[in-house]
Structure formats: structure tokens, C-alpha cells
Structure 1
Amino acid sequence: MPDRTVGDICRQYLEGVSAEGELEHSLRRRLHAELQQFAGHDQWRSYVALSAACAVKVWPVWRSRFTEDLPFASPRPDATVESPVLSLTEHRSELNSLNTFLDNKMLLGPAYFPAVAAGLACWAVNRDALVGEFSADPELSEMDMDSEDWDPSFFASVAMAGGAVWEESGDSEKRREFWHWYLEDAAPRAYAL
């Protein structure tokens, strides 16, 4: 189809959103690969921009529980989902410190988990920008991989829904809304850059 657009490709993945409101990891990776093939060149920067938009979108979830910024990777004050800029670190040791900082916030209990997931979305953007490649096998689900390999969009969906798809605390309608935003708005904008 010669008049196909990035938006057309993204919208095809809407049918992949499950009854529980989840867009599986393998489908997100397939989407990235298809968009990269469509563009005909490396699209890593677009992926990182999309990931940053996800982190900015759920930043209010962090703010609902914590007033402080993260030591690294917080959205800048003027960041929006349309212009998602995070204060990233270039040092792996600082990124490791941020991971420890967020792990310690988990000790506050389940009521804080969605906010911590929002912080982890920021951390994961920084990780991916620093590493420059995906962490996990494209065919694995989040249940089958280490949580440190989860992508920023998954952490963001957990923050938005209040829990992962396998947790009773998660709201499937909010999760579905997040993935629809991801496919209908955020991914087309990021990959059209």
C-alpha cells in the first residue's frame, strides 16, 4: 500500500490489545521492527522518544505519592508528552543508584507501587538511552523476564493501571486506555520524527 503511514501501522496493533487491556511485549517489539523497516533506517531514537513520552505521561502518578524528583531521569519541568525531555545521566553508576533508590521506595508498601512504577519508567528510559539496545528477548513476556529488563512502556502501563496485568490491583480499562494512547497518539508522533 503506497500511501501507508506510521499511524496506519500503529493502528493495526490495536487489535492486539487483550481483553485485560494488555499489549504484549512481543507485539510492542514487532511494532518497533515494522516501523524501523518502514522507515528504512535505525529508529532507536524514535523508540527512546516514545519511551520518554510514556514516562512523562505517568509522572503525575509519581507526584501523587512523592514530591521530590528522582536523582536522575525525572522529566524536566517543561516536559510534555508531545515534547518529552528527561534529565538523563550518562553514568551507569548513577543509574544503578537510581535503581536502588526506587527499590527502597517499594519498601513503603503496595499503595506506593504504582508511583514507583512511574519512577521505574523514567529509570528504564535512561537505561535504554544509555545501553542503546533492547534488554530482553523479543518473544518473552514480562512474566518470563527479570523486571530490570521490562521496557519503559510496560512500567508506565503498570503505573497507569495501578498494577500489572496479572495483579488484581490493576484496572484493565485504564491499562487499555494507556495502550490505545500509545498506539494512536504517542507511537505515531515519536516515529514520525
Structure 2
Amino acid sequence: MKDELKDLLNKAKNEVNNHPKGQLILPLRKKIYSLMGEHSEDSEGRVLRTDGYLRRLQLSVLCVNYVLPIWNNVMLDDNTPNTLLKSINDYLSGDKDWDSLWELQNDFWAVLDSYMCDDNDYGTSIYVGHCSINAVMVALNDEDLGEDDENLLDEDLDPYTWDTAFYSSLAYSESEQYDEKTKILKKREFWLWYLDKAIPKAMQI
């Protein structure tokens, strides 16, 4: 891991520990994504499998797996997030093509929307569903490394554009069983895991 990324991770940990809501803000995450390696596309605009792409994808998958038990404990009859993770591996191995993988996540969007409209209480498991969809989108397109306004935070964006990590942080911390103080502690716990464990593991690729 390059010194520049190590320094940024230390800065990010300080940010999380001192942020009043325990958050790792979007501008810092985008800087981390950029330092994880190159993003490149072919002549048709399809992402190339650079080390940077593979690391960011691994990070996204790690985030899904970290909160996947929340889904599995609630959605006993729906194994779709697990299926999507397997489909990402199939895509990387060449057993599934781009269009088929895109269709899988697109179909799951409709299922999640239907869950959100029925009368059942699924807790934060819906966030896990969105995590798994986002991981597929990273497999298809890589993370969004665009140069946004550095003052732009996740809360300023349309939820449909949130990244896997942010959805995972919500799944981990926003349970209605938690009071506000506990939610902040859980959010900080997630982001410190993300910085201390997930990113170094993803960088091993």
C-alpha cells in the first residue's frame, strides 16, 4: 500500500473518530477510491479490469458480506443478495455476461421497491439489498470516481446514487432498536472496520 493511501486512511480514521455522527464523508471515500488504483475503459465505454477496479470491487463485496447476516436473518425466503454475490464471481470468471448481470440487479430493484411498499417491517435489511445491487454495479462499471463538489455529502444525493459502503453503514447502524447515541457508535464502528480491515484486505489484490 502506497504511503499516500496510508496517510489518507489515517486522516480518515481521525475524521471518523471526531465526526459528530461517526461518519466517513463522501469526499474522503472518493479520494480513497482513486488511490486504490487506476480506472480505465475500452473503446465502447466498458470498464477494464485493472487492479484498481478489482480492489474497489473487492471492497464493495466485503461491505455486502459484512451486513449480509442482517438480510439473511429477516428475509428467510429471499436469497437474492447471496445470488448476486455469486453472480459477480460468475461474471469475473466469464460464466455470466455483462447484460445478464445487469438484468439480475435491475430485476431486484423492482423486488426491493415492492418490499418497501408492503406492510411488513424489514428493519435495515432493505439497505442490505441495495448494498448487493451496488456491488453488482461496481462489477459492471466500477465506483464513481467523478470530481464532485468537496462539500457534497451523501445526504445531499439521491439515495439511488449512494455507494455500497454508505448503504452498508446504514444497514449496520440504523436499526430502530438503537437510540441515537447507539446509532452513532455503530456507524463509527462500521467505518473504522472499513478503514482498518476492509480496505487493507481489498488492497491485497
Query: Structure 2 length normalisation: TM-score?
Result: 0.73
> What is aligned with 1:107?
117
Question: Residues of 2 paired with 1:136 and 1:36: CA distance?
Answer: 14
SS at match of 1:93: helix
Amino acid at match of 1:48: L
| TM alignment of 1:118-137, pairs within 5 A | 118-134=128-144
> What is aligned with 1:30?
31
Amino acid at match of 2:183: D
Alignment CA distance shift 1:35-1:93 (3 Å): closer
Q: Which has the higher mean CA deviation after the structures are superposed, 126-135 or 12-21?
A: 126-135
Amino acid at match of 1:11: N
Amino acid at match of 1:20: K
Alignment CA distance shift 1:156-1:56 (3 Å): same
Q: Deviations over 1:11-41 (max 9, x none)?
A: 331012112111111110011223338xxx7
Question: Residues of 1 paired with 2:3 and 2:62: CA distance?
Answer: 24
Q: Is the 8 A contact 2:81 2:132 kept in 1?
A: no
Question: Residues of 1 paired with 2:108 and 2:180: CA distance?
Answer: 28
What's the Cα RMSD here?
A: 3.1
Gaps of 5+ in 1: 77-84
Question: Residues of 1 paired with 2:130 and 2:203: CA distance?
Answer: 23
Counterpart among 52, 62, 66 of residue 57 in structure 1: 66
Q: Which has the higher mean CA deviation after the structures are superposed, 169-178 or 107-116?
A: 107-116
Question: Residues of 1 paired with 2:26 and 2:187: CA distance?
Answer: 14
> What is aligned with 1:183?
195
Structure holding more helix per residue: 2
| TM alignment of 1:1-193, pairs within 5 A | 4=3, 7=6, 9-17=8-16, 18-36=19-37, 43-67=52-76, 68-70=78-80, 73-76=83-86, 90-91=98-99, 92-108=102-118, 111-134=121-144, 138-139=148-149, 140-162=152-174, 171-193=183-205
Alignment CA distance shift 1:179-1:109 (3 Å): farther
Q: Is the 8 A contact 2:70 2:124 kept in 1?
A: yes
Max radius of gyration: which structure? 2
Alignment CA distance shift 1:71-1:170 (3 Å): same
Number of residue pairs matched by the alignment: 177
SS at match of 2:79: coil
Identity %, equivalent residues: 24
Query: Structure 1 length normalisation: TM-score?
Result: 0.77
Q: Is the 8 A contact 2:56 2:142 kept in 1?
A: no
Q: Deviations over 1:148-169 (max 9, x none)?
A: 1110001100000026xxx969
Q: Is the 8 A contact 1:161 1:175 kept in 2?
A: yes
